[in-house]
Structures are given as structure tokens and as C-alpha cells.
Chain A
Amino acid sequence: MSELTTVPKAIGGPSNYLDERLGAGNFLKRNLRKVFPDHWSFLLGEIALYSFVILLLTGTFLTLWFKPSMMEIEYAGSYAPLRGVMMSEAYASSLEISFDVRGGLLMRQMHHWAALLFVAGMTVHALRVFFTGAYRKPRELNWIIGVLLLTLALAEGLTGYSLPDDLLSGAGLRITEGVAISLPLVGTYITFFLFGGEYPGEDVIARFYSLHILLIPGIILALVSAHMVLMWMQKHTQMPGKGRNNHNVVGAPFYPAFMAKAGAYFLFTFAVIAGLATFAQINPIWLFGPYTPADISAGSQPDWYMGFLEGALRIMPSWEINMFGTANAGTLPLSVIIPALVPMGIIMTGLALYPFLEQWVTGDKREHHVADRPRNNPHRTSIGISAITFYGLLWLLGANDEIAANFHVSLNWTTYVGRVLIFVGPALAYLITYRMCLGLQRYDAGVISHGVESGVIKRLPHGEFIEVHTPPADDIEAHVRGKRPVLMLPVDDDSSGIPPKGMRGPLGKLRGLMSKAYGGEKIPLDDGHGDGDGHAAIGEGSDDHTLTR
């Protein structure tokens, strides 16, 4: 094959023209060879990114026909069972998109499936970042941007769900109103401001429409850009492995390898969303009927990402406080305020603050570019699984009526059991995960000290059978040896029994205790794995912290 030694004029000319005016050549030269590490879990965030692109495209299509108006009209479209029914223009135009616009139903379904996958992609991406500690310095701000994006995605989902003005979306809107009006002091003002008067009024669809198609997606787009730029500048974290450290990135260059993979992954995402939209019906608004505040249906549920709030509302006992013993002086409906604000507050605030809390506990101010394996920071992993259990139980209980109806259990018992599990479940999950992490660490230590099973069985002269172990492969050993102990604050008292500075007082003592538990090396790699077969045994939660000093 002949080598090209000069750039063809047809390419060189325009490129030069642009380069002289934009200075893009230097930028591209620097960035096209940017190295990206390779691991399947690093692509999870891209699910959200590509779903967002598909949401923008399909959403634009939908705006061409959707009418954000609550004016009452009589339906005269092609869906027979609703003909002659009075409904809002918003609902009628959603039906028009579904039945009378070519490709409209496919676009509506793609938009909805993409929305579900958008939030699901964000969720699994956030979990990956959390469990590998990829939020640590210098990436805390990007983590905060991510938490904001997740919150905005929920708001975007809520406003979008309400737009078609069908019976289900109305049920969601009613709960939104209930939450707003339950807020102490400002509740009624906020509700009247939001709905332009008494619920449901005639303004809310138009207002949600501008939030849904303009304000929230605009902010999301800006934050996504910031998220990507920061990721690009700070470089992506990498899994521990051969030749990888905090000062390099081992992987493939952006062009051509990573670009091809990212492009392919966009097509995969597109295919999954288009495939779901073609074969699986979603949000069949024509079955729900138009919204009237007097009607409500069994099985009224929000989209999955609101399910945890629904579950919290369903298991909450009906507590309320009448101020000064009379409803005239105002009522504090705890049965609405607590489920609406507490789980969301725990999860979102917890996510946002976690990097800073961890730093406060471990005193770790170092930069990290090599990811942790989840087992190597057992307390973080246990906290994460505990939070997943909390969220997952609430999510599951949001569907307790469908569970009761389809699995023939008593609806009341799902509630009673849920009220207990929501406290017991996360605690159990914490303990179990912690033991599993230590077990896996012990297994790693076994791989280092014993090697891996070779499949060769040997019989010794005295009759005993043993399986011959071989040393692990280089890359596996490097991956395992990528373990770094979690940092710990200097917590021990000095020789005269005085605790170090910052560890005095109740808060300081708590910090010291947490640091002692959270940090330190639990199962050192090179100490064998404590199974009592001739190696040094390791005591429970070994107190050997020499590696961390």
C-alpha cells in the first residue's frame, strides 16, 4: 500500500482556512489522542447521555403537534371508545399524536422509554462512581454536578409525565399538589402560585410545558456539558492493574478507538430504545381516559424513578398534628411531609455530601485517579448497599397493590412488613455486605499467597490428595495488588493519654471512632488468608494498622 505523504488539496485547503481562523488544529492535535481507560462500567454514563440526545430529538418532534392547553373540547379523533368525550386540548392532542400523526405513537413511546432509561442510566452510572470511589479528589465537584443532574431529571420526568393530562398523569399531579399544600406556612401560597388558583385550574399544563421543554432541559444541557468538560480535563479514572498508577492513564486513544466504541454504543442505545418503543407499549393514555379530579384508578403508579416516593407515602402511618389541638389553627400533615421529603432528603443529600464526609472521616486529601475495587473499602460499599436496600424497598412498596393483586398476598401485610423492613433491611444489608467484602479481601489474599487452582490433582506418598496451585497471571496479580488501605486519622492518645488535636469533645471523639472503624487495612494481602492451613492466621478485624501510618 502506498503511503500518503502530502495532504490532498481538497482537504488541506479548507482545513487550513478553518485552522487559521479558529485555531482548532492545536486543540484537535492535543485532544484527539486523549487516552480513555477501558472497562464496561465506564460506559454506563453514556446510556444517560445518549438517551438524553434521543429525548431531545423525539421531544422536538412531539412539540410540533402537542397543544399545552387545558381548554375543554369534545374529542372527534379516530380512537372510537373516547369519541364524544369532553377533554382538555392537551389530552386530545396527545391522542392525535398517538393515532393520527404518522409515526407519532412510535415517537411518543421512544420518548417515554428513553426517559426511563435516561434516569436508569444515571442511576447505575452514579452507583459505579460511588462504589469505585471515583468521586474522590479531584472529582468532588463533578460528583455534585451529577447529583444535581439526577435531581433535575426527576423534575423533568415529573413535569413531562403530567403533560398529556390523562387520568394517570392527573393522579401524579394531585400528589404533587398534596405535597406542596402540606408544607407548613407556605403550602397554600406555593400551591396557588403553581396552579394559578384552586387545583387543578387552567394554567398548570402550560406552565409545566415551558418548564419541561425549555427551562429544565436547558439547565440539564448546560450541566451535562460541564460534566463532560470536567471529565475530559480531569481524565477518566481507571481500574487498578498492570502499569496503572495515579499519574498515568492506560487505555485507548479517543480517536479512533474510543470514538468508534462510543459511536457504536450510541447506536446500541438507539437500537434498544427504538426496539422497546416498537414492541412494548408504554403509557397507553387512551386507556387511562381524560383527567377529571373526581376519578382515580386502581394501579395508579408513577414512572419507576418516582416509585420510591410513592412507596414512602404508602407505608407511612396516618399521623398528623393539629396545632393547639384544633384544625382551625393549622394542621401539620406528617403523613405527607415525611414521605415526601425525608427519603428524598436522605438519598440526595447523602449522595451530595458523601465525598466530603468521607474526607472528614479519613483525612484523605490526596488525589485519586485509580478506582477502588468495592471490596477494598468495605464500609463505603456497605453504606452504598444499605442505601440501595432502603431505596429498593421503598421502590418495591410503591407497587404493593400490584404485588398484592398478582401474588395473592394481603395488601395490609405488605404495608406492615414494609414498615418493619424499611428499618431492618438496610441494617441487615450493611452487616452482610461488610462480611462479604472481608471475605472477598480474604480471597484476594489467598490468590496472592496460594495462587489459583490449576485443576491438577496430586496424590502425596502418604495418600493425601492436594490440588496444585499456580501463581496468578500478571494482570490478575497487578489488579489485586492495586489495593490501597483506606486512610485513617491519627486517633490514638499520646503517651500522656491526651487525644490528638481535633479529636477532643463529643464531635471529635465521634470522628475518631468513625475514622478508626472506616479506615485501616482489614485483611492485609501478604499475610495469607487465615484459613488455618499453615499460614499466619488473621484475627477478626485485625488491628494491624501499620500500613496506614
Chain B
Amino acid sequence: MMADRRRINGPPGGTRPAVFASNLQSGTSATDRAQRQRQPSELRKIFLKTGLIPTASGSSYLEFEPSASLAAARANPKSLIPPSSALKLACTVHGPKPLPRSAAFSPNLVLTTHVKYAPFAARQRKGHIRDSSERDLGVHLETALRGAIIAERWPKSGLDITITILEAEDDRWWGSAPDSHDASWGMMNVLAGCITAASAAIADAHIDCLDLVAGGVAAIVSDEPSGTSTGVPKLMLDTDPAEHRSILSACVVAYMPARDEITELWLKGDSSKASLEDGDTRTGHEALIDGAVDAARGAHTVLAEAVRESLLRTVGQA
């Protein structure tokens, strides 16, 4: 081994910041826990801008508004650990470009998607090699986009879409036991962001598509911290997993408003317990999908505005 003997090396694996019991005692009190300040159907603000990377044929940058508790914690830090995180990601599109000579003939545009977390994106460091969750996200994103682009306009060409996640959404509040709900709810928010950003970047690259496809998330959460029994499950749009005690079920869609069609749907968890308003005859999963579509509609307005804005900017320069 070529270990450096003259200094004391850190452990080879990643480390987590030390958490002290006394710190936790107060930390577990409900006041420090991030709380959702928004209405159930109120969405977070989205910052979306296209054309930031000049070398790519299309690019976009997307940022979610930090939650109220995060903003408060930044203004008045009580702890070194931020209570929640906000999604930030960059998307680049290269192409359409000719396929390599060795590739078989394709009558359609060949789409490849790469989703990669930056090593510092999550609380736990990510390696440089794509892990299974990143590959999984890539497949979801590809499904979402392939339905939207008009692939036969670009035969024999390839399109590479690369997304770098600079800051990821948490899967749960950091102070909760890491296993309390180990499903990766944050990944769904990340996917929704990826879809919206990629759609903007594709429009920026002037690739024909049927509609701007936007991502949206809805979840069924039970929030009341009443001991062991969970409260009444409610449907919420655009959930930040750090703000909720227990997420029963969540759903992300890629949605095209002009055609009222879903190109990608990923729903998981038990949605049958959702308590809907009286007279609402929808089943839990239908309500969940409808909620995610509503969230996607909201994202679409931002998306359309961002694409229009970038167009006007280039017109203004000319």
C-alpha cells in the first residue's frame, strides 16, 4: 500500500458529521422539525433558466424554492445542520448529432439519458460511478422524454441528455431515524425536476416535441405527531419529504397539458387509505395521479414562461 505514513489519514469511507446526543434531545422536539407552511395544493416556486451552458446545443438550470424552515434556519442558524434541502440541477443537451458509424440504422432520434448526482449533492457523499438509483432515474427520464419528442423528424441521429444534480432533495427529515421510512421519496422530487429541466433544455436545443413535458409530484402524508398512531392521511402536492413525518404513498408524473397525456408515471406506496373530501368518489391512486398532474400543470406554466423568455432574449440580442 502506498499509504502516506507521515500524516494521519482520514478513514477511507465517507464520514458523517458527529451528532451529539444532547444536541439530538432538543433536536427531536417538534419545533425544530421542518414543518410544511404551504397549503396542501400550494406549490414551491421554481427558478428555471435555459441556455446557461454555451457549449451545449441546449441547456437549463432549475432550482426549487427553499422551504420556509430552511429559509428561517439560514437567516437565524440554530444548528449547523440545515433542516432541509432544496433541489438544484443542471441539464445539458448535446445533439442531434450523427450516430457513430458502428451503430445500426435508426429511423428515429436515438435518445440517451444520464442522471448523475454530484458527490456533494446529498447528505451522504455519492461516488463518481453511477449507482443503481441513478440508473433507475435515467430510465424513468428517458421514458418521460421519449413520448414527448417527435423522434422521426431526426432519423439516424442521436441526442444525449445529461443531468447533474447539484443539490438533491432529502428522503426524510435528517433527524429521523434513517430507516423510519426508507423508501426514497426524495428521488421522486428529483425526477420531477429532471423532467421539467430536460424539457426546457430540449426546447432550447430546438428539437421538435409535441408539448413541453413537465414533472409533478403528489403524496399522501399523515402528519399528526400523535404518538404511535398516525393521523388522517391527506393528499398534498409538491411535498418536501423533510417536512413530513410519514409519507404513505407518492406519485410522480410527466405530463403534457396540451394533449392531457402522461408519458411517465411512477407511483409507489399504499394509496388506499387517503381520506378525500366528501363526495369524492375517486380511489386513492386516481386522486394521487390527479394531484401529481395538477402539480405538473403548475410546473408547466413556469416551463413555458422560461422557454418563451429565453427566446425573447435571443431575439432581443439579434
Is chain B a partner of chain A in the same complex? Answer: no
